[in-house]
A and B are shown apart, each in its own frame.
Chain A
Amino acid sequence: MPESTYGLIATFETPGDLYHAAELVRDAGYRRWDCISPFPIHGLDKAMGIGRSRVPRISLCGGITGFCTGMSMIWFMDKFDYPITVGGKPLFSPLFAFPVSYELTILFTAFATIGGMFVLNGLPMHYHPVLNYEHIRRGTDDQFFLVIEKTDPRFNAANTRALLEKAGGKQIVEIEN
């Protein structure tokens, strides 16, 4: 197999075929592989052995940062930077800082969620080797693909091809990097 090979791609005709193939590949212990489907397939993440997303943890950090930013900003501005007594209220109270802190919690959570999603997904990604596959556009229309990367520790040109054949994959071809 040439140095420039990215991996092996196999074609499946139905979501069910892809789902069961994914279970086989998962159980064979592969780590660096992916499924390509025109639409989301329920339960495919479990069939692929993918755990839950880590994005919520990043969201939580964003939320805490936003809350603390709002509270400390208003505390600094109202108590030190420009103290004015309004309506006989104390110079600082968490009560009137709360709506702003709450809004900033939401804003920073949204930023962290979108940013975290981009970073964990490796986005933006302008090039991906599977785009070299001549039939890849069928993967946005009516066919399903399973790609196993050559960099996977278990990858072996002959055995991996045999596994994909056993899984029911058609037209198993190498794709260029």
Chain B
Amino acid sequence: MTPPSTSKALGIGLAGIAVTAAGLLVSGAHVVATAWLVGIGFWTAIAIGMLMLILIHHIFDASWSVVLRRQFEHGVAAFPWLLLLFLPLIAVSFLGAKDTIWPWMNPAHQVNAVHTVRTDILYEKKSDFLNLPFFVIASLGFFALWIWISSRLRKASFSQDQDGDVKWTRMNGRTAGFGIPIVALTLTFAAIYWYKSLEYHWFSTMYGVWYFSDCMRGALSCGVLIQLWLYARGDLKGILKTDHLWAIGQLMLTFTVFWAYISFSQYFLIWNANVPEETFWYNIREYKDWWYVSLFLVFGNFLLPFLLLLSYRFKVTHRIIRRIAYFVLTVVFVDITYNILPALKDPTGHPLPFFSLNLLWAATSVIGIGGISIWAYLRDLPTTKLIPIRDPRIGECLNHDE
């Protein structure tokens, strides 16, 4: 295997970060930092999804996904870099009035005509959870746990390449046993802290599961793209069968339906109960062009991928499933944007439009953080065998038949 060129990804990443930083001069810290959160949210979702898929692979002692798992093990190498890129968001929370991104960090932040955060009963009741020290410790703790669990999985899997000892598979089984609840809880609380608390009056018990569904959809789409890329390079010739693609495609279909189920349930319960504390969140997302973004999520994020992924031929034809994967990544980006960017308000309290410079900074953040994440993956890729050749289930994986 010829090592891929890593410098291009690094260059694109640094360029994206530089353009986003230049945005500070144009749109100011509040807008650009919130847009940066979109980029963090998007790529952290993919890394968490990859971590979850490795853990799920081990908890089920699965066989078909052994080859795919190795690529995810390289993918989670991005976590330390994501932590590094998350640090600026913590830094701005200590600067100035502290409410550059999250309004509840500034007690003097004006909530409405009468109240500030300090005198807001809805903040007081949540202040044991929503306070700056807790936020910083928790955010660093989430990354620490993700890095710790992924390094355990990586170490065991890569060591097995050397000695073929089955104890590494058993160790990963145990890691999966305690790792799944840990990752499930940390991704839920991360979603609550980072995205939901942007509008801290609002609450939804679906929110963590919503983020989980985006994690899985992003990671599966990246898994498809990585496998097709390695196949096109010739590395996975004779290894990647249509049955593997069919299996991944089915999971993509599953999580398309799962995303729709979660998103619909969240909307439906709030719509049905019709309580102002909850409905305002959707009301601002139906304001002006956000209405069309909402509709795009219904039809583009669910209906279109759902119908396309029903087809067996579409799931196994490289050219078609590659396009579907790119499309799903795009809609996951729109979904995360939809959850974060309406927190940017104009002076009258309405959300700033979707099509604006804010979207551009979100896109450059995704490119910047993506370049670094892909660079982290690419530089990790040649350090191990292409497939886990001594995994006890590698034979079953190579002979996988639907």
Interface residues of A (CB under 8 A from B): 42-43, 52, 56, 60, 87-89, 95-96, 98-99
Interface residues of B (CB under 8 A from A): 264, 267-268, 271-272, 274, 310, 312, 399, 401
B310→A87 contact, CB < 8 A:
no
* Inter-chain pairs besides A52-B312, A95-B272, A96-B272, 13 sampled, C-beta below 8 Å: A42-B399, A42-B401, A43-B401, A56-B310, A56-B312, A60-B310, A87-B274, A88-B274, A89-B272, A95-B267, A98-B264, A98-B268, A99-B268
Q: Which residues of chain B have C-beta atoms less than 8 A from A99's C-beta? A: 268
Q: What residue of chain A has the Cβ atom nearest to residue B274's Cβ?
A: A87
Q: Which residues of chain B have C-beta atoms less than 8 A from A88's C-beta? A: 274
Main secondary structure of the interface of B (DSSP, over half): helix
Q: Which residues of chain B have C-beta atoms less than 8 A from A96's C-beta? A: 268, 272
Inter-chain CA distance A98–B302, complex, in Å, is: 14
Inter-chain CA distance A96–B268, complex, in Å, is: 8
How many A-B pairs fall under 8 Å by CB?
20
Residue of B264, B274, B310, B401 ringed by the most chain A CB atoms within 10 A: B401
Q: Which residues of chain B have C-beta atoms less than 8 A from A60's C-beta? A: 310
Q: What residue of chain B has the Cβ atom nearest to residue A44's Cβ?
A: B401
Q: Which residues of chain A have C-beta atoms less than 8 A from B264's C-beta? A: 98
Q: Which residues of chain A have C-beta atoms less than 8 A from B274's C-beta? A: 87-88
Q: What residue of chain B has the Cβ atom nearest to residue A43's Cβ?
A: B401
Inter-chain CA distance A60–B307, complex, in Å, is: 10
Q: Which residues of chain B have C-beta atoms less than 8 A from A43's C-beta? A: 401
Looking at the assembled complex, report how far the CB atom of B311 sits from the nearest CB atom of chain A, in whole angstroms: 9
Inter-chain CA distance A9–B309, complex, in Å, is: 41
Q: Which residues of chain A have C-beta atoms less than 8 A from B271's C-beta? A: 95
Q: Which residues of chain A have C-beta atoms less than 8 A from B267's C-beta? A: 95
Query: Can you identify 18 A-B contacts, CB atoms within 8 angstroms?
Result: A42-B399, A42-B401, A43-B401, A56-B310, A56-B312, A87-B272, A87-B274, A88-B274, A89-B272, A95-B267, A95-B268, A95-B271, A95-B272, A96-B268, A96-B272, A98-B264, A98-B268, A99-B268
Inter-chain CA distance A89–B274, complex, in Å, is: 10
Q: Which residues of chain A have C-beta atoms less than 8 A from B272's C-beta? A: 87, 89, 95-96
Inter-chain CA distance A60–B306, complex, in Å, is: 12
Looking at the assembled complex, report how far the CB atom of A39 sits from the nearest CB atom of chain B, in whole angstroms: 14
Looking at the assembled complex, report how far the CB atom of A137 sits from the nearest CB atom of chain B, in whole angstroms: 28
Inter-chain CA distance A98–B310, complex, in Å, is: 20
Looking at the assembled complex, report how far the CB atom of A19 sits from the nearest CB atom of chain B, in whole angstroms: 12
Q: Which residues of chain B have C-beta atoms less than 8 A from A52's C-beta? A: 312
Q: What residue of chain A has the Cβ atom nearest to residue B400's Cβ?
A: A42
Q: What residue of chain A has the Cβ atom nearest to residue B273's Cβ?
A: A87
Q: What residue of chain B has the Cβ atom nearest to residue A88's Cβ?
A: B274
Looking at the assembled complex, report how far the CB atom of A41 sits from the nearest CB atom of chain B, in whole angstroms: 10
Looking at the assembled complex, report how far the CB atom of A52 sits from the nearest CB atom of chain B, in whole angstroms: 6
Q: Which residues of chain A have C-beta atoms less than 8 A from B312's C-beta? A: 52, 56
Inter-chain CA distance A9–B152, complex, in Å, is: 56
Q: What residue of chain B has the Cβ atom nearest to residue A93's Cβ?
A: B271
Q: Which residues of chain B have C-beta atoms less than 8 A from A98's C-beta? A: 264, 268
Looking at the assembled complex, report how far the CB atom of B297 sits from the nearest CB atom of chain A, in whole angstroms: 15
Inter-chain CA distance A152–B272, complex, in Å, is: 62
Q: Which residues of chain A have C-beta atoms less than 8 A from B310's C-beta? A: 56, 60
Inter-chain CA distance A90–B274, complex, in Å, is: 13
Inter-chain CA distance A89–B399, complex, in Å, is: 56
Q: What residue of chain B has the Cβ atom nearest to residue A53's Cβ?
A: B312
Looking at the assembled complex, report how far the CB atom of A74 sits from the nearest CB atom of chain B, in whole angstroms: 14
